[in-house]
Structure 1
Amino acid sequence: MPILVITGTGTEVGKTVTTAAIAASARAAGRSVAVLKAAQTGVRPEEPGDVEEVARLAGPVTTAELARYPEPLAPGTAARRAGLAPVHPHEIAEAAAKLATEHDLVLLEGAGGLLVRFDPAGGTLADAAGLLAAPVLVVATAGLGTLNTTELTAREVRARGLDLAGVVIGSWPAAPDLASRCNVADLPEVADAPLQGALPADAATLTPEAFRAAAPAWLAPRLDGSWDAEAFRVREGPRPFA
């Protein structure tokens, strides 16, 4: 798995901290890692973006960002409004493929969801994943509403003939409600793919040292971790109906 495409079911789902956890776990396993952000929005030139946050948490990784737009909008819209050149799927794929010749693992992080548009032609992260024939990991929320967006994303991945690597819960609450507990069982069913991890809600607030030490325990073996999906389901999943 030299390239892994990381998408979310929407914005603010924990995609960047999940990317950082995967990078940290891969580094702990002795792998060299590159992190590629297809397009960064809502951040000005002098401000740190998502790849800087990944590097802060995960430690030394190669970082690359293909485009940056100041307004927090879909990349295609943000590029048009700023009068800047958009980034196209073939450019994303070429950059990821080049990094893959120099690193054991390339993490390609999208912007928002799988079908967010990057250019006027409607190019998306899904198109870049198709050009790369790379597996796609979906980062989802824990609570009410996540089943629909996760299933729609999973269906689109499969409709394009891509490998769905699984689902990671990007922010698991310290006190999960009933919907979150039930979703532990329902998410892998609706996605027809395994849960590959669950990150605690406060993961990004840990010190970098604590984050790197803990990251493998949040992720399944396919992501260089030790997280056990069945043990998590038993511990955090739904309780019997009273």
Structure 2
Amino acid sequence: MAEVLVVSGTGTEIGKTVVTAAVAASAGAAGRSVAVLKPAQTGMAPDEPGDAAEVVRLAGPSVTALELARYPEPLAPDTAARRSGLATLSPAAVAEAATRLARTHDLVLVEGAGGLLVRFDEAGHTLADAARLLGAPTLVVAPAGLGTLNATALTAEALRARGLTALGVVIGSWPAAPDLASRCNLADLPEVSGLPLLGAVPEGSGALPPDRFRAAAPAWLSPALSGTWSAAAFLTTWPA
């Protein structure tokens, strides 16, 4: 079976899809076949390209994309499903889809919706429940600025409380001119969360032409994610 990696943010609009694309691009550059699974896409019309399609656009057409459910309003999947009259999504369905993809790919990336504990169904199941069924580690995507220490620590604590493995943290949008809080957070995140820093994706990376994105992606991620990025070197570049 392939490696399955769950990608969760500490919140919304923090670069989770671009990080997923960077991981896919780096794995592809290393010769691995990649699939991305988006269990629930919210806030988009049926004919609009969603997050999974954006990963394919950036990481390359060789990436397999699968979306399980789509809800038109930009809300938590459970709420969006109830308001639209559509069926909710169970962790078992997510796990089954990821397992199916794992039979034909080297790496399967399961990109959540918002944070780890966003509800997927009426029973209160979350992405964490799908990760448990899969026995898969979770990559945490966090912002750089104020508030990230608390949110990242809470996410790491929630994973540990559920007996789940957290692979590490990637900063989803590293500023071109980081302020003092961002630079201090860079050094403090590993200590506060107990998780290693595994990368920092520059802000605006999702707007790069896809060929440039693919060429640059390995330099944003650590060897644990098929990249060449070094946390120690990066900390030296941006001292607090």
* TM-score category (smaller protein): over 0.9
Aligned residue type for 2:121? D
Residue number in structure 2 paired with 1:2: 3
> In 2, distance between residues paired with 1:101 and 1:236?
41
The answer to whether the aligner puts 1:96 opposite 2:98 as a matched pair is yes
> Please, which runs of 5 or more residues in structure 1 have no aligned partner?
none
Q: CA deviation at 1:236?
A: 1.1
Percent identity of the aligned residues? Answer: 70
Q: Tell me, in whole angstroms, the C-alpha distance in 2 between the residues paired with 1:236 and 1:38.
A: 36
Is it true that 1:125 corresponds to 2:138 in the alignment?
no
User: Which position in structure 1 is the counterpart of 2:40?
Assistant: 39
Matched, 1:19 2:20: yes
Residue by residue, what CA displacement relative to the aligned partner does 1:97-134 show, whole Å, maximum 9, x if unpaired?
11111100000000000000000000100000001110
Number of aligned residue pairs:
238
Which residue is 2:199 aligned to?
197
Output aligned runs, 1:133-148, within 5 Å.
Answer: 133-148=135-150
Q: Does 1:168 align with 2:170?
A: yes
The Cα offsets for residues 45-85 of structure 1, whole Å up to 9 and x where unpaired, read as 01000011000000020000010000000000000000000
Q: Which runs of 4+ in 1 moved over 3 A?
A: none
Amino acid at match of 1:206: L
Deviation of 1:215 (Å): 0.1
Distance 2:46 2:120 in 1: 19
After superposition, give the CA deviation of every residue in 1:7-27 in whole Å (9 maximum; x if it has no partner): 000000100000000000000
Which TM-score applies when normalising by structure 2?
0.98
Correspondence 1:64-83 to 2 at 5 A = 64-83=66-85
Query: TM-score with structure 1 length normalisation?
Result: 0.97
Report deviation, 1:161.
Answer: 1.1
Q: In the aligned structure 2, how far is the partner of 1:236 from the partner of 1:83?
A: 49
Letter in 1 for 2:48: E
How far off its partner does 1:163 sit?
1.1
